[in-house]
Amino acid sequence: MSKKTLIPIGPYHPLQEEPELFKLYCDGEIVKDIKWETGYNHRGIEKLSESKTYEQIFFLVERICGICSNSHPFAFANAVEEIADIEITNRAKYIRSIIGELERLHSHLLWVGLAGHFLGYNTVFMWAWKYREPVLDLFEMISGNRNSYAMFRVGGVRRDIEAIKIPAIHKVLDDIKKKTDLLTGAIMDDPVIHARTKGVGILTKQDIIDYGAVGPTARASGVAIDVRKDDPYAAYPLVNWKVITAESGDVFAKAEVRLLEMYESISIIEQCLDGLNKEKEGDITIKVKEIPEGIGNGRAEAPRGEVFHFVQSDGSSSPVRHKIRAPSYVNIATFKKSCIGQTIADATISLAAVDPCYCCTERMAVAYDINSGERIMNANELINESAKKTNEIKNTFNSQI
Amino acid sequence: MGFKNYCFKKSLWVFHFGGASCNNCDIEILDCLTPRHDLERFGILLVGSIRHADVLLVNGSINTRDKERLIEVYNQAPKPILVVAIGACGCTGGYFTESYTFAGPVDKIIPVNAYVPGCPPKPEAIIAGIIKLVQNS
């Protein structure tokens, strides 16, 4: 048997903001196997939830994940409203969708930035995060906080979006559209990015179906799965939009899907804002007296894919059972397909392409010699490895010119 | 001012330890480094190894699995090191105090020099915390 090297990434290292351990088993530069360990972010949320009232759980599920801090309350609200058979007002539906799509905007911008960072393009990272700031300002204007918006409650939303705030939202959206054009142009036309991402980390349609992957990961491989279309909720059936898919399933396709989805998000928000004008101001919540006995399934499309919440109620003020499944939980399993057979430098971006969210799932990655157990690489070196490859490609292009 | 404290006056290098966090604080810490707030103009830099760091940022509630690793990271740090607990979870445990995996707020595990409360704290609050830390050290 040839000599293999184990590269551990994590649990605490700069590649991932969250703790999680990936172990890459390498033969020379080729990744032969990958294993991952989680549990560094286990907080016992499902158990905690059984000791809280329904109103309190919204604040708890919001803190499952800070980036998709709206998707979990969204799915939970859908589940509880299914139990209690509540139909919320149209205005509340529009507000829910606006918050959901603004979140997708900021999350995809964040991903574009991080992907740039992993490829060795720190400028893309800085730019994308700069363009993300106005979205966070909108959140601050609407909800009072940049993250963790606390907008949801059973039977509606907590805060209204008054007519006076709408022009400011339109202005930011117009601005972001221009910035997205710029980013899309920069990424789609760059020959170096093409060379680094095309044909890297490919997931075929069959892989997606086998692993049950969801969200942009699945859509980039031509599987048009989107909870907003498949099981419509909130205002999504009331507006016109389309599911973005790509065919090739590589890292480039995943970036393409995310960038094009941002345009869809902007269009959904604009239509929802028009819808808000038609509804009576302040009509955002209906009174819910009690949650009856029963079970409810709630789904929502988070920026990373389908969030699923199962709630069982016995008629008291707290649920008996609350089960949560986050999109990264299924998407992380696809690493087995996307990383094996790649070089170490490409593994970094392949891991990042799924946009794994460990606080949702829990997570980490490092390099050890499989025979001696000797550590050969740390995370920084891994990013450097990736940046080095980009530079080499860049130089090749430059020398051709 | 001793020599050690003089070293903290400029170019603080920061190592970030995310415990069992929801990512919000992690993102806001990164946000401090991006163009709008741009902490890097003061020489504040996020580094990949604790052995290079002057400041250890800890955020998130610490669960039983993170606890031993936090202690190990702290022991590996060159001393003196400034420890900053970021966010409600880092300062007190926040919403997760009653969780069965909760292993105590950061200051029960390692000595803490500064607290930045908030869920998540705004980048401005993090910057204010760091300025106070530098002025008082």
Q: Pick the more confident residue, B39 or A294.
A: A294
Beta pairing, strands A375-377 & A366-369 = antiparallel
The three-class DSSP label of residue A308 is strand
pTM for this predicted structure: 0.87
Are residues A360 and A299 both part of a single domain? Answer: no
Are residues A212 and A261 both part of a single domain? Answer: yes
Are residues A321 and A347 both part of a single domain? Answer: no
SS3 percent helix, strand, coil of chain A, rounded to 5, is 50, 15, 35
Mean pLDDT for each consecutive 10-residue tract of chain A (401 residues)?
64 60 77 77 86 91 86 93 92 93 92 85 88 92 89 91 92 93 88 87 90 91 92 91 91 91 94 91 87 92 91 92 87 83 81 65 39 48 70 74 61
ipTM of predicted assembly, 2 dp:
0.89
A 10 A CB-CB count for B103 gives 19
CB within 8 Å: A18 and B100: no
CB within 8 Å: B95 and A59: yes
Final residue of a structural domain among A281, A300, A325: A325
Written as one string, the DSSP assignment of B74-132 is: HHHSPSS-EEEEEHHHHHT-GGGTT-TTB---HHHHS--SEEE-SSSPPHHHHHHHHHH
Number of domains in chain A: 2
User: Which of A17, A48, A67 shows the shortest C-beta gap to B98?
Assistant: A48
Are residues A91 and A211 both part of a single domain? Answer: yes
Say which CATH number the domain at A373 has.
3.30.390
Are residues A49 and A150 both part of a single domain? Answer: yes
Query: pLDDT at position A367, please?
Result: 39
8 A C-beta contact, residue B12 and residue B55: yes
Are residues A210 and A321 both part of a single domain? Answer: yes
CB within 8 Å: A18 and B26: yes
Chain B closest-CA separation from residue A178 CA (Å) = 18
What gap in Å lies between CA A65 and CA A41, rounded to an integer? 11
Query: Across-strand partners of A306?
Result: A301
Number of domains in chain B: 1
Are residues A37 and A143 both part of a single domain? Answer: no
- Note whether residue B2 is domain-resident: no
Strands laid side by side in the A319-325 sheet = A293-302, A305-314, A319-325
The residue of chain B with its CA nearest to that of A140 is B122
Q: Is B88 exposed, middle or buried (0-12, 13-18, 19+ CB in 10 A)?
A: buried
SS3 percent helix, strand, coil of chain B, rounded to 5, is 45, 20, 35
Tell me the CA end-to-end span of chain B in Å, nearest whole number.
9
pLDDT over 80 (residue B67): yes
Final residue of a structural domain among A325, A349, A368: A325
8 A C-beta contact, residue B58 and residue B19: yes
Are residues A58 and A173 both part of a single domain? Answer: yes
Residues in chain B: 137
Are residues A167 and A35 both part of a single domain? Answer: no
Are residues A249 and A297 both part of a single domain? Answer: yes
Are residues A161 and A214 both part of a single domain? Answer: yes
* Domain that includes residue A357, residue range: 5-41+329-400
- Note whether residue B5 is domain-resident: no
Say which CATH number the domain at A55 has.
1.10.645.10
A52 to chain B, any CB pair closer than 8 A? The answer is no
Residue A373's alpha-carbon distances to A28, A340, A365, in angstroms, are 15, 21, 15
What gap in Å lies between CA A328 and CA A188, rounded to an integer? 26
pLDDT over 60 (residue B59): yes
* Domain that includes residue B123, residue range: 10-136
A147 to chain B, any CB pair closer than 8 A? The answer is yes
8 A C-beta contact, residue A151 and residue A70: yes
Residues in Cβ contact with A250 at an 8 Å cutoff, skipping those fewer than 6 apart: A197, A198, A199, A200, A201, A202, A220
Chain A closest-CA separation from residue B129 CA (Å) = 18
What gap in Å lies between CA A113 and CA A390, rounded to an integer? 16
Say which CATH number the domain at B100 has.
3.40.50.12280
Q: What is the token pair recorded at A30?
A: 């080729």
Are residues A317 and A344 both part of a single domain? Answer: no
Q: Cα A205 from chain centroid?
A: 20
Which chain A residues have a beta carbon less than 8 Å from that of B27?
17, 66-67, 110, 147
Tell me the pLDDT tens digit for each residue of B71-102. Answer: 988 998 988 888 999 999 889 988 888 888 88
8 A C-beta contact, residue A33 and residue A340: yes
Query: pLDDT at position A344, please?
Result: 79
